[in-house]
Chains A and B, each alone.
Chain A
Amino acid sequence: MSHRGMEGSAVLAKNAAEPAVPLQHTRGSSMQTRLTKRNRHIHAENVIGRAIAMLCAAMLIILVLSISYFIASKGLATFFVNGVSLKEFLTGTTWDPEGEPAAFGVFPFILGSFLVTVLAAVIAAPLGIGAAIFMTEISPAFGKKILKPVIELLVGIPSVVYGYVGLTLLVPFIREQFEVLGFSVLAGGLVLALMILPTITSVAADAIEAVPQDLRNASLALGATRWQTIWHVVLHSALPGCLTAVVLGMARAFGEALAVQMVIGNTTKLPESILDPISTLTSGITLNMGNTIAGTPYNNALWSMALILLLMSFAFILILRILGRRKWASR
Chain B
Amino acid sequence: MKRFGKLFMALTFAAAVLAGCGTGSTTTPAAQDQQQPAAQPADQQAQPAATSGEPVTAVGSTALQPLVEQAAKDFMAKNAGAQIQVQGGGSGTGLSQVASGAATIGNSDIFAEEKDGIPANELVDHKVAVVGIVAAVSPKVGIDNLTKQQLIDIFTGKIKNWKEVGGADMKITLVNRPKSSGTRATFNKFALDGNQEAEGITEDSSGTVRKIIAETPGAVGYLALSYIDDSVKALKLDGVEATPENIATNKYPVWAYEHMYTKGEPTGTAKAFLDYILSDEVQKKTVTDLGFLPITEMKVERDAEGKISNK
Contact = CB atoms under 8 A, between A and B. Distances in A.
Interface of A: 1-2, 5, 45, 48, 52, 95-99, 167, 171-172, 175, 181-183, 261-262, 265-269, 277, 279, 286-296, 298-299
Contacts of A171: 215
Contacts of B117: 293-296, 299
A289 B199 contact: no
B92 A292 contact: yes
Contacts of B216: 175, 181-182
Given A291-B182, A292-B92, A181 B173 contact: yes
Given A2-B2, A172-B215, A291 B90 contact: yes
Contact of B180 (A52, A98, A294): A98
A103 to B, nearest CB: 11
Interface stretch (B200-208, B266-274, B296-304): B200-208
Contact of A266 (B91, B116, B201): B201
A181 to B, nearest CB: 6
Interface of B: 1-2, 4-5, 8, 62, 88-93, 95-96, 100, 115-118, 173, 178-182, 196, 199-204, 208, 211-212, 215-216
Contacts of B200: 267
Given A172-B215, A277-B201, A293 B1 contact: no
Contact of A291 (B1, B116, B118, B180): B180
A181 B92 contact: no
A98 B1 contact: no
9 contacts: A167-B208, A181-B201, A183-B201, A261-B203, A269-B199, A287-B202, A288-B178, A291-B90, A291-B93
Given A175-B216, A267-B202, A291 B4 contact: no
Nearest to A108: B199
Nearest to A298: B180
A98 B216 CA distance: 29
Given A1-B8, A2-B5, A293-B92, A287 B201 contact: no
A279 B62 CA distance: 23
A95 B208 CA distance: 23
A212 to B, nearest CB: 38
B202 A290 contact: no
A304 to B, nearest CB: 15
B89 A290 contact: yes
Contacts of A268: 199, 202
B99 to A, nearest CB: 8
A273 B116 CA distance: 37
A287 B204 contact: yes
Contacts of A2: 1-2, 4-5
B92 A290 contact: yes
B36 to A, nearest CB: 20
Contacts of B116: 293, 296
Given A291-B91, A291-B92, A267 B179 contact: no
Contact of B203 (A172, A266, A298): A266
The 10 closest A-B CB pairs, nearest first, are: A290-B90, A291-B180, A2-B1, A266-B202, A287-B178, A296-B117, A293-B117, A265-B201, A291-B92, A294-B96
B199 A291 contact: no
A59 to B, nearest CB: 13
Given A290-B88, A296-B116, 4 more contacts: A99-B196, A181-B201, A290-B90, A291-B180
B13 to A, nearest CB: 15
Most B Cβ at <10 Å: residue of A182, A290, A291, A292: A291
A52 B90 CA distance: 41
Given A293-B96, A293-B118, A267 B199 contact: yes
A289 B90 CA distance: 8
A219 B181 CA distance: 63
A1 B12 CA distance: 13
Contacts of B2: 2
Most B Cβ at <10 Å: residue of A2, A182, A293, A294: A293
A161 B203 CA distance: 17
B270 to A, nearest CB: 22
B26 to A, nearest CB: 29
Most B Cβ at <10 Å: residue of A48, A167, A265: A265
A292 B212 CA distance: 25
A261 B100 CA distance: 30
Contacts of B89: 290
Contacts of B212: 167
A146 B234 CA distance: 50
A115 B176 CA distance: 23
Most A Cβ at <10 Å: residue of B1, B100, B180, B182: B180
A288 B93 contact: no
A48 B202 CA distance: 55
Contacts of B4: 1-2, 48, 52
Contact of A288 (B8, B179, B215): B179
